[in-house]
């Protein structure tokens, strides 16, 4: 298709503001797919994504739309919908010339939306603002439109109003895409440069890279090369998304599609890569590539030591589709053999954990998540520490630095104090705030507040607390900023006299003793009574700072005989046995999975 | 599952090569009969048995069906001598004397009853009056098991029992007057908020009634009961397991002083007055359970009847109908069952046998299964002996005093391993 008949766009929206529904309506309204075959929210394909109502993998679809008798090719590139995936979002946006900004008519602009708007602006994308869900009884479309005008600077007549649910306004949006979003501006005669905005593993075709052709064309005959990784490959198939894979002979400048690479793992084709032809290819890759950088680390262990191999296979399988997941073998005296895994963020971690358990039937123990500390030793050497057990002894440490993030929170003004309180509890600092509703100055008007805080402090139930203290109104976005000196120490836990490495945590030195007391008392609640007394101690640098005892249990008996119902009696015992099997034997003590996350409960 | 056998064509495989496992009065070719009466005037809050309030109108048809089932099984049981007959519930004492007369007569007519057979009936203190009591005695019922539970009225109220402590004292006197010389009193300890002293009062006052047999059960809050609901809602606390343990330990000492033999986890008896019927269960001797939801161990199989009384009545009718037409057919009242494999039988033998205070004879186990308990359960036995929950006494393996209250911890390790998950891990 000619360049001026192509429009590449994305949809920016907060969770639940109606992105997927709008995408569905657009597909229905164009000739993209057979309506009867349509499932709700086609673009969200993973089961987990549906459940969590978010998009994890980017998806794409090509649609046809006609304006004034002229056919146009519209390529929708759906972005992942969570802060953990902001780099992936930036690459998906970089593959577009424009974006539809969808804002819920009842909820207004949220922190994360705004973050993506700024991202889109940096990339020079044309934005089409849409106030969605105007049919809701609590909708305030005028007020939300005013926010868009005041904060982002749209003209009133640029703003569209729609209800993706009913389909109202969808055609106007399609027309606006053609009218306002510029066509791609690549050079058809230049050597091929295509931006990889996602990658997916296919058991038959190897890694499929999802690409936007920026310059030149892909014809499927010449060998190609991933520029950053220096990987050469023969394209096995190429095509576009309708939304299922639909093979084509070539992808032209400006078009969006996929290339089957035959490569074995997505690690070899990271998002942000540039694809060119192997011989006489482009000189310079496209800008913006960044290697995956995990921010959150945790030990993942099988409850049953014999499942280690299955866990490894499962991680390998997940890695095929998730270049951001990193893992390497690790062993723990308490938990045996497992893996140290690196994740983009807590949500990413949660998703991986759930997929391992659900799709691979594994029972896992995950240790409390940790950030990566930079440690300067007294001898001047530097080490990166992402696990408490790797922290050098205190006398060998000259300085520890921990990652800090910038936080943006949008919240009605009346909760600003509550948010400030929470940030202060988490060692954070205030930077600035601005009102999003310029006209209003009551407690309901929205504020965008900016803070900085140690990442370790927001890993643990920060988001839940933020929601709780603002009655669910706050939304959050964060970005890694830098490493700053930290006064932290390792808190060790002894169960029945034996140190349990998997229960150690790196915590701020100031309240270490208090944390030790909280941790032992949390563990006393979590560890069930055993056949003997079990002391639980917390220690810092060998000094015991807290002690609790789980008293020996005295009674576990089926009293009654149930008129000879032996089968039932056996079933009750089997249930108890299964419950015990889910626990980990640490020495002679049965410790449930939750205990290894106990450090997460330290705040009240 | 339906047991696809005709009662008439059944030649029961005699279970007990293991008979020699236990030396007692119950013999290899003996059989116990259980008859279930599922009706109650009101359902107690803690009760999760197969019992129903408000279904009394089904009783006449139900008795009919039960009479038929007594008859249905007779051919299969003809090689056996019936040593014990037990009317359990529900509330068997609600059954009127005419129906009881019909049921006892049918059992006598169709089965070979031992002359010294034990005939037990479970009873509520409120249902029994002088005439009813002497009537039951005249029908040959020679053992009453009375649901006392507590001798504190406030506790009886918590348990939603309909009787008073005073009524218990009366009814024991009346039962004696009617000629009953073998009484069991059921008690519950470990009640919610019950201190040791309150339980001690109940037990002391019970001892004054000089029962031949005592069953003392720790209260357990079973899923699906009204009590469970009240606890889950936070209206009531969970029972305190440590207080229950104190109460149990005190009970063992006190009853031993009072001349009772502790012979099963929850059961005590005067010498020679152990409940022969319940021993059948612990020893895995054959028993036939008749009536709604009743359980059987017969011909190497464990099976149970359908629970709902109306469905049971229909199913018995269907069984008879088919039998009238074809002369054989399916026993439609049976809801499900299993044929335990060797590993399960071994585990059952240990788990049931260890509930008895005398424990399990290792030689007897080996005679029955051709393998010693240590060869099958060696690791678990060692571990729990090490923890002080199991004891060896010559040939016998038994729970220690502490092990009695922690018996599930031992039993769990005696269960056979479940099948391995397949390669996909599902």
Q: Where is the domain boundary, A485, A509, A542?
A: A485
Verify that A30 and A154 share a domain, yes or no. yes
Contact A177, A129 (CB under 8 A): no
Whether residue B304 lies within 8 A of chain A, CB to CB, comes out as yes
Instruction: Please provide the size of chain B in residues.
Output: 426
- Does residue A480 sit in the same domain as residue A582? no
* A128 and A223, same domain (yes or no): no
Under the banding of pLDDT at 50, 70 and 90, the label for residue A603 is low
* Contact residues, chain B, for A566 at CB < 8 Å: 281, 284, 295, 297, 302, 348, 352
Residue B196 at interface with chain A, using a CB cutoff of 8 Å: no
Contact (CB<8Å) A563/B426: no
Note the pLDDT of residue B386: 94
> What HEC string does A390-417 produce?
HCCCHHHEEEEEEEEEEEEEEEEHHHHH
User: What is the DSSP code string of A71-123?
Assistant: EEEEEEEEPP-SGGGHHHHHHHHHT-SEEEEEEETTT---HHHHHHHHHHHHT
- B389 in contact with A, Cβ within 8 Å: yes
Please list every residue in chain A whose beta carbon sits closer than 8 Å to the beta carbon of residue B242.
554-555
| Nearest Cα residue to B387 out of A553, A480, A198, A33 | A553
Please state, in angstroms and rounded to a whole number, the distance separating the CA atoms of residues B406 and B387.
Answer: 11
Q: Which of B134, B61, B122 is nearest to B97 (CA)?
A: B134
pLDDT at residue B419, rounded to an integer: 59
CATH number at residue A308: 3.30.70.870
Place of tokens 């056919």: A71
Higher-confidence position of A112 and B160: B160
Question: Chain A partners of B220 at a C-beta cutoff of 8 Å?
Answer: 558-560
- Residue A545: band (very low, low, confident or very high) from pLDDT cuts 50, 70, 90: very high
Taking Cα atoms as reference points, which of A54, A221, A21, A232 lies closest to residue A135?
A: A21
CA distances for A408 relative to A16, A35, A85, A432, B89, angstroms? 19, 40, 16, 10, 66
In which band, very low, low, confident or very high, does the pLDDT at A438 lie, cut at 50, 70 and 90? low
Which CATH number is A168's domain given? 3.40.50.300
Specify whether A316 is located in the same domain as A428. Answer: no
Question: Which residue on chain A is closest to B407 by alpha carbon?
Answer: A557
pLDDT of residue A46 exceeding 90: no
Same domain, yes or no: A24 and A142: yes
Residue A384 lies in a domain: no
Given CB atoms, is B312 within the 8 Å cutoff of chain A? no
Residue A575 maps to a domain:
yes
Q: What is the mean pLDDT of residues A254-262?
A: 93
**Best residue in A355, A528, A532, A564 for a mutation probing chain B (most B CBs within 10 Å):** A564
A235 found inside a domain: yes
Average pLDDT, chain A: 87
Task: Answer yes or no: do A81 and A155 share one domain.
Answer: yes
CA-nearest residue to A577 within chain B is B412
Together in a domain, A438 and A463:
yes
**Cβ–Cβ of B412/A573 closer than 8 Å?**
yes
- The dotted CATH code for B343-414 is 1.10.10.920
Looking at residue A314, its pLDDT comes to 92
Residues A161 and A249 in one domain: no
Query: In this structure, is residue A377 part of a structural domain?
Result: no
Mean pLDDT by 10 residues, chain B (426 residues): 36 32 49 96 91 93 97 91 95 95 98 96 90 95 97 95 94 96 97 96 98 96 92 94 96 97 96 95 92 93 94 95 85 89 92 95 92 95 95 96 95 82 40
Per DSSP bridges, beta strands B112-123 and B81-89 are parallel
pLDDT tens-digit map of A281-298: 999 999 887 777 788 999
Contact in structure between B43 and B260 (CB atoms under 8 Å): no
Q: In terms of Cα–Cα distance, which of B206, B138, B211, B126 is closest to B176?
A: B211
| Domain shared by A570 and A520, yes or no | yes
Q: Which domain holds residue A100?
A: 3-180
pLDDT score recorded for residue B333: 92
Q: Do B281 and A564 touch (CB under 8 A)?
A: yes
Q: Tell me which of A81-90, A562-571, B39-48 is least confident.
A: A81-90
Instruction: Please tell me the distance from the alpha carbon of residue A233 to that of residue A223, in angstroms, as a whole number.
Output: 6
In chain B, residues with a C-beta closer than 8 Å to the C-beta of A531 are 387, 389, 406, 409
A41, pLDDT greater than 90? no
**Taking the domain B27-282, which CATH number applies?**
3.80.30.20
Q: Which among A343, A353, A217, A192 has a CA at the least distance from the CA of A277?
A: A192
Q: How many domains does chain A have?
A: 5
Same domain, A57 and A176: yes
Say if the ipTM goes beyond 0.90: no
pLDDT at position A173 is: 94
pTM, two decimals, is 0.71
The verdict on a CB contact (< 8 Å) between B302 and A310 is no
- Is a pLDDT exceeding 90 seen at residue A510? no
Domain boundary among A312, A340, A366: A366
H or E element, residue A177: helix A170-180
Given this model, what pLDDT does residue B320 score? 92
- Give the residue from A518, A252, A486, A493 showing the smallest Cα distance to A372: A486
For residue A137, being part of any structural domain is answered with yes
**What's A201's domain CATH number?**
2.40.30.10
Asked if residue A171 and residue A268 are part of one domain, the reply reads no
- pLDDT for A138 beyond 80: yes
Domain ranges of chain B: 27-282, 343-414
Tell if the CB–CB gap between B412 and A577 is shorter than 8 Å.
Answer: yes
A82 pLDDT higher than 80:
no
**CA distance linking residue A42 with residue A21, whole number of Å:** 9
Task: Tell me: do A117 and A136 sit in the same domain.
Answer: yes
Nearest chain A CA: its distance from B355 CA (Å):
10
- Considering only CB atoms, A559 lies closest to which of B220, B344, B421, namely B220
């Amino acid at each position: 298709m000619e360049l001026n008949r192509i429009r590449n766009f994305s949809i920016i929206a907060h969770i639940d503001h109606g992105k997927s529904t709008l995408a569905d309506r657009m597909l229905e309204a164009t000739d993209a797919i057979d309506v009867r075959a349509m499932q709700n929210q086609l673009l969200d394909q993973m089961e987990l994504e549906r459940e969590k109502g978010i998009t994890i993998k980017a998806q794409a679809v090509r649609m046809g739309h006609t304006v004034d008798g002229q056919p146009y090719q519209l390529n929708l590139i759906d972005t992942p919908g969570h802060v953990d995936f902001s780099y992936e979002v930036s690459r998906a946006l970089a593959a577009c010339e424009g974006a539809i900004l969808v804002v819920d008519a009842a909820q207004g602009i949220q922190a994360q939306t705004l973050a993506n708007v700024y991202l889109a602006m940096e990339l020079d994308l044309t934005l089409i603002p849409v106030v969605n869900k105007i049919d809701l009884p609590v909708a305030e479309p005028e007020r939300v439109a005013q926010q868009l005008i005041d904060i982002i600077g749209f003209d009133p007549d640029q703003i569209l109003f729609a209800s993706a649910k009913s389909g109202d306004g969808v055609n106007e949006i399609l027309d606006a895409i053609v009218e306002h979003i510029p066509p791609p501006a690549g050079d058809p005669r230049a050597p091929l440069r295509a931006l990889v905005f996602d990658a997916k593993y296919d058991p038959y075709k190897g890694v499929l890279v999802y690409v936007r052709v920026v310059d030149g064309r892909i014809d499927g005959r010449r060998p190609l090369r991933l520029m950053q990784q220096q990987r050469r490959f023969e394209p096995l198939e190429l095509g576009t998304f309708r939304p299922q894979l639909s093979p084509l002979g070539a992808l032209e400048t400006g078009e969006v599609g996929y290339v089957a690479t035959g490569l074995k793992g997505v690690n070899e084709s990271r998002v942000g890569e540039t694809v060119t032809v192997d011989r006489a290819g482009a000189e310079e890759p496209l800008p913006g590539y960044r290697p995956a950088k995990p921010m959150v680390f945790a030990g993942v262990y099988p409850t049953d030591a014999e499942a280690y191999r299955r866990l490894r296979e499962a991680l390998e399988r997940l890695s095929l589709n998730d270049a951001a997941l990193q893992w390497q073998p690790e062993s723990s005296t308490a938990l045996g053999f497992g893996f140290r895994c690196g994740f983009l963020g807590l949500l990413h971690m949660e998703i991986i954990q759930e997929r391992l358990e659900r799709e691979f039937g594994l029972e896992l123990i995950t240790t409390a998540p940790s950030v990566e500390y930079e440690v300067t030793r007294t001898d001047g050497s530097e080490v990166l520490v992402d696990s408490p057990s790797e922290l050098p002894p205190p006398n060998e440490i000259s300085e520890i630095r921990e990652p800090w993030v910038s936080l943006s929170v949008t919240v009605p003004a009346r909760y600003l104090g509550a948010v400030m309180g929470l940030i202060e509890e988490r060692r954070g600092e205030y930077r600035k705030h601005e009102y999003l509703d310029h006209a209003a100055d009551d407690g309901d008007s929205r504020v965008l507040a900016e803070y900085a805080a140690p990442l370790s402090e927001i890993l643990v139930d920060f988001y839940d607390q933020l929601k709780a203290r603002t009655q669910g109104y706050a939304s959050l976005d964060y970005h890694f900023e830098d490493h700053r000196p930290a006064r932290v120490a390792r808190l060790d836990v002894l169960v029945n006299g034996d140190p349990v490495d998997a229960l150690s945590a790196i915590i701020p030195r100031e309240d270490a003793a208090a944390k030790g007391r909280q941790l032992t008392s949390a563990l006393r609640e979590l560890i069930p009574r055993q056949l003997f007394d079990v002391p639980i101690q917390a220690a810092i640098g060998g000094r015991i700072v807290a002690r609790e005892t789980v008293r020996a249990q005295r009674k576990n008996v089926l009293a009654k005989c149930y008129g000879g119902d032996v089968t039932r009696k056996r079933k009750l015992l089997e249930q108890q046995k299964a419950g015990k099997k889910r626990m980990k034997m640490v020495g002679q003590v049965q410790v449930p999975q939750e205990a290894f996350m106990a450090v997460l409960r330290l705040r009240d | 599952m339906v047991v696809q056998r005709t009662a008439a064509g059944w030649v029961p495989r005699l279970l007990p090569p293991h008979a020699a496992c236990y030396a007692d009065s119950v013999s290899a070719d003996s059989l116990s009969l259980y008859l279930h009466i599922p009706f109650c005037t009101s359902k107690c809050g803690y009760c999760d048995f197969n019992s129903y309030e408000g279904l009394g109108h089904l009783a006449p048809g139900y008795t009919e069906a039960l009479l038929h089932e007594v008859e249905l099984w007779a051919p299969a049981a003809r090689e056996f001598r019936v040593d014990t007959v037990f009317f359990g519930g529900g509330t068997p004492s609600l059954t009127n004397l005419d129906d009881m007369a019909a049921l006892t007569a049918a059992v006598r007519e169709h089965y070979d009853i031992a002359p010294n057979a034990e005939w037990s009936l479970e009873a509520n203190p409120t249902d029994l009056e002088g005439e009813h009591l002497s009537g039951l005695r005249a029908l040959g019922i020679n053992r009453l098991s009375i649901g006392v539970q507590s001798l504190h009225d406030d506790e009886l109220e918590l348990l939603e029992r309909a009787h008073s402590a005073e009524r218990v004292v009366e009814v024991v006197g009346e039962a004696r007057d009617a000629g009953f010389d073998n009484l069991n009193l059921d008690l519950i300890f470990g009640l919610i908020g019950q201190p040791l002293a309150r339980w001690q009062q109940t037990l002391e006052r019970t001892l004054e009634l000089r029962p031949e047999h005592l069953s003392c059960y720790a209260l357990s809050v079973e899923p699906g009961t009204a009590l469970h609901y009240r606890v889950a809602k936070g209206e009531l606390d969970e029972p305190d397991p440590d207080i229950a343990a104190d109460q149990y330990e005190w009970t063992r000492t006190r009853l031993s002083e009072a001349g009772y033999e502790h012979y099963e986890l929850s059961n005590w008896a005067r010498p020679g007055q152990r409940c022969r019927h319940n021993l059948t269960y612990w020893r895995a001797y054959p028993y036939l359970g008749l009536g709604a939801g009743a359980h059987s161990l017969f011909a190497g199989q464990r099976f149970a009847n359908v629970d709902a009384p109306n469905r049971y009545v229909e199913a018995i009718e269907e069984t008879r109908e088919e039998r009238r037409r074809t002369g054989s057919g399916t026993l439609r009242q049976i809801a499900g069952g299993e044929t335990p494999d060797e590993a399960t039988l071994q585990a059952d033998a240990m788990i049931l046998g260890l509930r008895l205070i005398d424990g399990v004879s290792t030689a007897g186990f080996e005679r029955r299964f051709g393998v010693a308990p240590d060869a099958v359960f060696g690791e678990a036995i060692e571990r729990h002996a090490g923890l002080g929950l199991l004891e060896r006494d010559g040939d016998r393996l038994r729970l220690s005093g502490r092990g009695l209250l922690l018996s599930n911890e031992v039993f769990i390790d005696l269960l056979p391993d479940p099948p391995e998950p397949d390669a996909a891990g599902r």
